[in-house]
Chain A
Amino acid sequence: MSIIFLLAPMALILSGLFMLAFFWATKSGQWDDLDLTPRKILEDQQPEKDPYESAN
């Protein structure tokens, strides 16, 4: 039963690591736009010229 005293802190540390990873992912904007991100690879690397700027 004493193995619990090893497993419980390990569980806490492991879940803490996952939470840190989740924290990092959220703060760096990984979940900001789940709809459009997959489409971004289809776009040109060059930033599009703003139509307003070309018009003015």
Chain B
Amino acid sequence: MQPQSVPLCEYCGVAYAREGDLFCCDGCQTLAGISETVAPSRQTSPQNLVEDRRLTEHFGRTRGEVVSFECHVDALACEACLQGLARLENHVPGLGDLRWDRNRSVLSFSFPREQEQPERLGKILEGMRLNPRWLRAGEQPTQNRDSVLRLGLTGAFAANVMLFAVPTYTGVTGTLQVVFEWLQFLVFLPVVFWSAIPIYRTAWVSLRMRHLSVDLPLALAFILGSIFSFASLFQGGHDLYFDSLSGFLFLILWSRSLLEKSLSKALASPDLGQFFEKPLFDVKRNGQEERLPWDRLVIGDELTLTSGDRLPTDAILLSASAEIETAWMTGERTPRLRLQGALMQAGTRLLSAQAQMRVTKVASESDFAKLLKSIHVNGDKLGVDLEGRLASGLVLTNFAVIAGLFLLAAPLGIDELLRRSIALLIVACPCAVSFAAPLARARANKIAFKKGFWVRDPRVWDRLLSIRKIAFDKTGTLTGGLMRLTPDSPLIDSHWKRVILSLENISRHPIAESLRRLWGSHELFEVSEAQEIPGEGVDGYIMGIHYQIRGGTDEAGRIRLDLLRDGIRVVEMHLQDDQQVQVREALEILKKNREIFLLSGDRQPRVQSFAKAHGFPAQNAFGELSPARKVEVLKEISPDLYIGDGTNDLPAMKAAPVAVAVKAAALEAQAAADLVMFDGDLGRLDEIFTLARETRALNRRNLIFALIYNVLAGTAAVAGVIHPLAAALLMPVSSLLLLGSTTWGTRLLRKLEGRS
């Protein structure tokens, strides 16, 4: 489609570089520059400092030790710019919490107090030609108002032009006809010189980037049609297209605003509020009962949750015990028991009938909120894809057909040829093609997100279609759930159970969790100076006696726990991983039509016995692998998908075509993964495969429809059957049909949600 000699952009590698340049746009050029040159030890001049102070004073929002900023920016020239922006945190010291609100076109970020460098970031944004406008606290960007104004006024102009066109269609002649034609012209002027500016702008950018965007034929049709009509009017002719062009522009703007709304809805950041289905919570504040929304809860509020509610803040449990599920934070779907005084994190779902808690952190400060924010930043990765190339191809085809028409059908006369060309450019514009697929994918991402998957790279949908071999990391991914006491473990007196449970009450370790599940609710002792020592155990004083719980492994490789009273062992117990039923069931589903492999750093005999118990073929289970050896084995078996959870899986995840991080894996593992699975239930992975297939089916249906429509309508336009006015009506109708098809198609997909 594009000439092969034109080089790709050095930075994004997606768009074509400008002539005589290495980059496709100023954004890429600036980002490439800072990736190479910026070092954290940037020299700060007094001018920079003064400007930083001025910006901070006027536009900074100080919250504790952090100063946050917002600025409204122009549309990003390419998606790589967006991804580049996300990486700015590595280049500007102190810059953090970078967020991009696509809907409002607002970039927000923060700096630690006294280290603000908004001026530096502003300079980078200016370099990217994003024209940053700093926003004061609470100030709204004006872009939305502009587009609403443009849409509304264009609608009014179009309606008036059509109104004045009616008499000419119904047979008015002579002076009156001329009067009505000049009235149309008068009202059409703001349409051509103001309403259509966004179309001209994107067409110009696409020309500059040597990329055939869908706005190029639109702008061309619009300009050609206008010139043709003006010429006709000034020469006293009656071939005017003011009504078609203004109506067409209004419908284009309208269908685009609908599409953008759907897209931004699908891409909307997972807002905290959407997780707290309950609109008002029962709260006791200063002895008074109140009903408050999640974002009004403050530290010290006593909250009453009922079964199924999600805790909106971090809190401490006041009830004697509560059964909860913390899949969003820990990946564990298994119900967990918490005893009085336990700390509960926001996002926790209550399974017991009712529980009382005291708020310890407001919702926006919780880890849950931070997790969602990080998803928001990275969730906006979008790639250039098949439909983009297809749309460019269709545009090129249209131009080729018009060229052919002028060459082969010259006897028809320039007026007729122009009329047919305009009709073709309008009716066969592949707008729908370029919108429908990203919309379908954005919706698939959203469904996946609701099911506990965060799609980090949207291109993963295509790769998920051909998964035949899956490799699993064992520890943490397939195991690491509940433990149970081994049959040869000594019996434990109920007094010691109480002591152990009291000490373990501060711990969220799987062992502590397993013991609570095993022994159920006991009246707890008051523990003083309780502390958890990571990797060792728990310490504390009960009635003045010093107790310690220490963990280790026994000769058989199982977990061994000792309770020490004043340093003397009083209880010894052995635990082993519970063979999770759900893992076995999940593997049963996943290995249908697929080959599964087990990779582990664990000892070979244990890996083999685990493999046997879970249906892995013996030759597909590899034990005693170092991270580097894992990569070598991966190369040998070349799986399509690798599932891991920890930093030790990083090399393997980077080497695999599709990497999935499970159970709220280490942050580094999340960064390396294409898909992050918050939910520990591996069986849901099969639903993601189904989602990928359904999304492809939907895309295929849309593309076939769009192609058939373009061929039929295009042929009709070339044959002179379609008048430009009819073309102006047909084109947005086809866009809306595709939008409907996508919405309807993904509604079927949403049925998947109910299948958990």
Residues of B within 8 A of A12 (CB): 160, 183, 187
Contact with A along B443-465 (1 / 0, CB 8 A): 00000000000000000000000
Of the candidate stretches B79-87, B144-152, B282-290, B697-705, the one touching chain A is: B144-152
Which B168-191 residues have C-beta < 8 A from chain A?
176, 179-180, 183, 187
Q: How far is the CB of B213 from chain A (nearest CB, A)?
A: 28
The answer on a CB contact under 8 Å between B145 and A26 is yes
Interface of B is mostly: helix
Max chain B CB contacts within 10 Å: which of A15, A23, A48, A54? Answer: A15
Instruction: Check A54/B160 contact, CB under 8 A, given A4-B176, A22-B153.
Output: no
Q: Pick from B63, B148, B299: contact of A31, CB below 8 A.
A: B148
The docked-state distance in angstroms from the alpha carbon of A5 to that of B364 is 63
Q: How far is the CB of B293 from chain A (nearest CB, A)?
A: 10
Instruction: Check A26/B149 contact, CB under 8 A, given A8-B179, A11-B160.
Output: yes
Residues of A within 8 A of B152 (CB): 22, 26
The docked-state distance in angstroms from the alpha carbon of A41 to that of B160 is 38
B156 at interface, CB cutoff 8 A: yes
Q: Pick from A5, A15, A23, A53: contact of B149, CB below 8 A.
A: A23
Residues of B within 8 A of A11 (CB): 160, 163
The answer on a CB contact under 8 Å between A51 and B298 is yes
Q: How far is the CB of B170 from chain A (nearest CB, A)?
A: 13
The answer on a CB contact under 8 Å between A32 and B156 is no
A55 at interface, CB cutoff 8 A: yes
A19 at interface, CB cutoff 8 A: yes
Q: How far is the CB of B96 from chain A (nearest CB, A)?
A: 16
The answer on a CB contact under 8 Å between A55 and B299 is yes
Q: How far is the CB of B747 from chain A (nearest CB, A)?
A: 22
B296 at interface, CB cutoff 8 A: yes
The answer on a CB contact under 8 Å between A51 and B362 is yes
Q: Pick from B140, B163, B365: contact of A32, CB below 8 A.
A: B140
Q: Pick from A4, A22, A48, A52: contact of B296, CB below 8 A.
A: A48
Contact with A along B463-502 (1 / 0, CB 8 A): 0000000000000000000000000000000000000000
Q: Pick from A8, A27, A29, A55: contact of B362, CB below 8 A.
A: A55
The docked-state distance in angstroms from the alpha carbon of A56 to that of B176 is 74
Max chain A CB contacts within 10 Å: which of B145, B153, B365? Answer: B145
Residues of B within 8 A of A8 (CB): 164, 179-180, 183
The answer on a CB contact under 8 Å between B156 and A22 is yes
The answer on a CB contact under 8 Å between B145 and A29 is yes
Task: Name the residue of chain A whose CB is nearest to the CB of B66.
Answer: A52
The answer on a CB contact under 8 Å between A52 and B156 is no
Residues of B within 8 A of A23 (CB): 149, 153
Contact with A along B346-382 (1 / 0, CB 8 A): 0000000000000000101100000000000000000
Residues of B within 8 A of A53 (CB): 63
The docked-state distance in angstroms from the alpha carbon of A50 to that of B318 is 27
The answer on a CB contact under 8 Å between B156 and A55 is no
Instruction: Check A15/B299 contact, CB under 8 A, given A8-B179, A26-B145.
Output: no
Residues of A within 8 A of B159 (CB): 15
The answer on a CB contact under 8 Å between A15 and B153 is no
The answer on a CB contact under 8 Å between B153 and A1 is no
Q: Pick from A19, A26, A27, A29: contact of B156, CB below 8 A.
A: A19
Residues of A within 8 A of B298 (CB): 51, 54
Residues of A within 8 A of B413 (CB): none
B64 at interface, CB cutoff 8 A: yes
The answer on a CB contact under 8 Å between B64 and A55 is yes
The docked-state distance in angstroms from the alpha carbon of A17 to that of B364 is 46
The docked-state distance in angstroms from the alpha carbon of A1 to that of B176 is 9
Which A3-42 residues have C-beta < 8 A from chain B?
4-5, 8, 11-12, 15, 18-19, 22-23, 26-27, 29, 31-32
The answer on a CB contact under 8 Å between B153 and A19 is yes
Which B52-86 residues have C-beta < 8 A from chain A?
63-64
9 contacts between A and B (CB under 8 A): A1-B176, A8-B164, A12-B160, A22-B152, A29-B140, A31-B145, A48-B296, A51-B364, A52-B63
Apart from the given pairs A8-B179, A8-B183, 20 other A-B contacts in the complex at a CB distance below 8 Å = A8-B164, A11-B163, A12-B160, A12-B183, A15-B159, A19-B153, A22-B152, A22-B153, A22-B156, A23-B149, A26-B145, A26-B149, A27-B149, A29-B145, A31-B145, A32-B144, A52-B64, A55-B299, A55-B365, A56-B64
